[in-house]
């Protein structure tokens, strides 16, 4: 049926309107798209160029080499060695289980280590690499690298790890590093991004922990081009970081080795300090352990052995251990009395074996008594009653003030873990801590280094150096940082009466050189090397019993302090042997041997020892040389 002219006109008009509508819509759409493209390509071009660059370029941190640690002679104690490991980044991996399975077909994976790594993968952000295989061989690393295209998110790495060259000898001084833990991250506010790197090592104990900021260094950055699968194509640039500072200690590794060997299997500690500079020449604590066990994480079995050892190898007894100083404290009481003007060196007190104070008897170690005793004799023969009398006249305020003046009851600032403050008690302290009033018996006990008084071997060595020099000697452990000399510990004069100090030193000299001195058996024979010292025994249980009648852990501690040479003091030494019994028998011989070794820098001639001891000393020197890394020069036949 043919359309009329009017119908054709209406149909054409309708088509034209529809064409115009569709065309308008198309023009509008094209215009909108054009406007959007202009917005994205022109106005937002910088932002999208940045995002595209981020997808193409990966920026990563370059861990710095940790600063190394040396002894005073330049012997390296803590160094960096290469180690090989494999990391996994979850967001680049896709299927973690499948990737781990593929990796396991290429290299052997430790199940226990892998289980821990998988836990870390779940906890950490997806862009943080986690180590899934550590300390692998070079051959294993090469196999992983060759199969890299089939292992998305897996990266073979060459890193640096810590190694302690002298093992157990410096454990309690240098400490050790270990992988950053969740605990470490939790206690640090705004942690360095370096700490999130896989198996990054930080100081856990000792100098490694206390000097962490110096030793760690600053991270560098690396820009690398990556493909769509996250594989590195090429390096685009890098900014090198800053290596950690090298630290040189005041410790002499030869003397430190000797001290550790001489302490042997005892639960003991020894400190050697230079009287002129305050330099710590040796800080020994026994027993010890190999710090290399901790560097990559110690096994549960090894850690359990250390924890359950009753000799406490994990504790640095030289600075952490505090003990009643016993009779080594008597110089403090005597000097306090002299400075207070309540006695003179010539004044005497009668010792009949005890002193009654407030209806309580305080006994002297010599039950029959010493008779009339002067200052020098009281030190020489260690009369307790003499110091009971001084305590009543001097008072605890003056005694404690003198103790602090001589370095006791103070936390010395050296970079080791948990350096103890000790205790020089006062009336206020007892009221605040014990909620009790001070009584005369407390002063009597304190006068001979018992009761509430506590001191570490480090503090006793400082005390002895101050008595020897009359200066406020401060211990120094770090000699240089990156070659820059650190402040000396020589100290200013203490302002004590030199005549009073001379009397104290004379009493200490007679302890080891007089026929009735308590430490005579451990004397040094030549006048040029003669020492002045003081024996001490501190009670662990209150009742007086023979050591053989009680378990080891209930026996008295043995102590000895000395300085040498007497006429020109160069070194001061403090030794504590836990549950060793008497200071004259357990601690004094050790201190004498260490003193001679420090003075000579090597095994001293046998002529320095009493003739009856020379055969034993010859055998001991031979045995200890075998235990030390570097054999000493010289002959065993010196006489």
Which residues are part of the catalytic machinery? 327
- Scored b (16 or more CB within 10 A) or e, 424-445 reads bbbbebbeeeeeeebebebbbb
Q: Quick one: residue 454, left, alpha or beta (phi over 0 = left, psi -120 to 50 = alpha)?
A: beta
Tokens representing 430? 């007892």
Query: How many other CB atoms sit within 10 Å of the CB of residue 347?
Result: 16
C-alpha 443/C-alpha 422 separation (Å) is 17
Contact 126, 90 (CB under 8 A): yes
- Give me the numbers of helices (H) and strands (E) for the chain, helices first please: 22, 21
Closest C-alpha to 429, from 403, 453, 405, 413? 453
CB 73 within 8 A of CB 253: yes
Phi/psi at 513 (5° precision) = -120, -10
DSSP secondary structure of 598-634? HHHSSPPPGGGS-GGGHHHHHHHHHHHHHHSSSPPPS
The 3-state secondary structure of 455-507, one letter per residue: ECHHHHHHHHHHHHHCECCCCECEEEECCEECCCCCCCECCCCHHHHHHHHHH
- Give 414-444 as a DSSP string: -SSTT----B---HHHHHHHTSS---HHHHH
The closest of 261, 263, 257 to 282, measured between CA atoms, is: 257
Name residues whose C-beta falls within 8 Å of residue 147's C-beta, 6 or more positions apart in sequence.
Answer: 102, 106
- Which H, E and C letters describe 224-256, residue by residue? EEECCCCCEEEEEEEECCECCCCEEECCCHHHH
Question: How many Cα atoms occupy the beta-carbon half-sphere of 29 within 13 Å?
Answer: 6
Write the secondary structure of 150-163 as one string of H (helix), E (strand) and C (coil).
HCCCEEEEEEEEEE
Contact 385, 398 (CB under 8 A): no
* 84 token code pair: 């090989």
Q: How far apart, in whole angstroms, are the C-alpha atoms of residue 11 and residue 17? A: 10
Close Cβ partners of 382 (under 8 Å, ≥ 6 residues apart): 327, 330, 365, 511, 518, 534, 535
What sign does the CA torsion over 308, 313, 319, 322 have? positive
Whether 497 contacts 508, CB under 8 Å:
no
In whole angstroms, give the CA distance from residue 208 to residue 221: 25
DSSP secondary structure, 171-236, as one string? HHHH--EEE--HHHHHHSSS--GGGGSTT-EEE-SHHHHHTHHHHH-B-EEEEEEE-TTS-EEEEE
Edge-to-edge order in the sheet of strand 280-286: 280-286, 268-274, 571-577, 557-564, 532-538
């Amino acid at each position: 049926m043919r359309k009329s002219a009017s119908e054709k006109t209406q149909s054409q008009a309708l088509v034209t309107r529809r064409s115009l509508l569709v065309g308008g819509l198309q023009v509008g759409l094209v215009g909108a798209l054009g406007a959007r493209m202009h917005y994205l390509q022109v106005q937002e071009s910088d932002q999208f160029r940045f995002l595209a660059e981020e997808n193409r370029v990966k920026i990563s941190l370059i861990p710095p080499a940790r600063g190394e640690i040396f002894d005073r002679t330049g012997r390296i104690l803590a160094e960096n060695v290469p180690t090989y490991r494999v990391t996994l980044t979850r967001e680049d991996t896709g299927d973690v289980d499948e990737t781990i399975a593929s990796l396991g077909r290429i290299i052997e994976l430790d199940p226990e280590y892998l289980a821990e790594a998988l836990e870390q993968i779940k906890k950490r952000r997806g862009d943080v690499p986690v180590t899934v295989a550590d300390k692998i061989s070079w051959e294993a690393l090469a196999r992983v690298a060759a199969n890299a295209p089939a292992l998305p998110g897996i990266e073979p790495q060459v890193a640096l790890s810590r190694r302690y060259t002298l093992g157990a000898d410096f454990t309690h001084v240098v400490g050790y590093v270990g992988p950053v833990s969740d605990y470490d991250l939790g206690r640090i506010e705004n942690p360095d991004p370096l700490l999130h790197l896989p198996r990054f090592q930080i100081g856990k104990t000792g100098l490694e922990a206390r000097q962490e900021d110096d030793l760690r260094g600053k991270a560098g950055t690396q820009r690398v081009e990556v493909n769509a699968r996250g594989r590195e194509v090429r390096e685009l640039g890098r900014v090198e970081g800053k290596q950690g500072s090298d630290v040189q200690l005041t410790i002499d590794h030869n003397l430190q080795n000797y001290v550790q060997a001489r302490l042997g299997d005892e639960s003991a500690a020894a400190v050697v300090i230079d009287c002129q500079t305050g330099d710590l020449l040796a800080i020994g604590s026994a027993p010890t352990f190999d710090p290399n066990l901790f560097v990559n994480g110690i096994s549960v079995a090894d850690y359990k052995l250390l924890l359950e050892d009753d000799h406490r190898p994990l504790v640095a007894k030289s600075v952490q251990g505090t003990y009643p100083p016993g009779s080594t404290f008597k110089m403090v009481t005597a000097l306090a009395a002299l400075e207070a003007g309540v006695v003179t060196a010539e004044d005497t007190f009668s010792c009949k074996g005890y002193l009654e104070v407030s209806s309580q008897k305080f006994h002297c170690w010599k039950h029959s008594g010493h008779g009339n005793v002067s200052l020098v004799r009281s030190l020489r023969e260690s009369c307790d009653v003499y110091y009971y009398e001084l305590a009543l006249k001097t008072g605890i305020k003056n005694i404690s003030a003198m103790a602090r003046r001589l370095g006791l009851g103070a936390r010395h600032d050296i970079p080791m873990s948990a350096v103890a403050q000790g205790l020089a008690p006062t009336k206020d302290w007892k009221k605040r801590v014990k909620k009790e009033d001070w009584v005369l018996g407390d002063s009597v006990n304190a006068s001979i280094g018992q009761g509430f008084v506590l001191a570490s071997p480090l503090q006793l060595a400082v005390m002895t150096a101050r008595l020897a020099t009359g200066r406020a000697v401060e211990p120094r452990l770090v000699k240089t940082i990156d070659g820059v000399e650190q402040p000396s510990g020589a100290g200013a004069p203490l302002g004590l009466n030199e005549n009073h100090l001379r009397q104290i030193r004379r009493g200490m000299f007679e302890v080891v050189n007089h026929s009735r001195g308590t430490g005579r058996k451990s004397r040094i024979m030549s006048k040029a090397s003669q020492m002045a010292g003081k024996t001490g025994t501190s009670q662990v249980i209150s009742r007086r019993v023979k050591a053989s009648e009680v378990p080891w852990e209930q026996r008295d501690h043995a102590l000895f302090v000395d300085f040498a040479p007497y006429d020109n003091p160069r070194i001061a030494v403090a030794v504590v042997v836990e549950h060793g019994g008497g200071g004259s028998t357990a601690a004094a011989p050790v201190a004498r041997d260490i003193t001679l070794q420090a003075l000579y820098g090597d095994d001293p001639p046998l002529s320095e020892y009493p003739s009856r001891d020379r055969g034993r000393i010859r055998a001991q020197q031979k045995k200890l040389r075998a235990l030390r890394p570097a054999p000493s020069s010289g002959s065993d036949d010196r006489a």
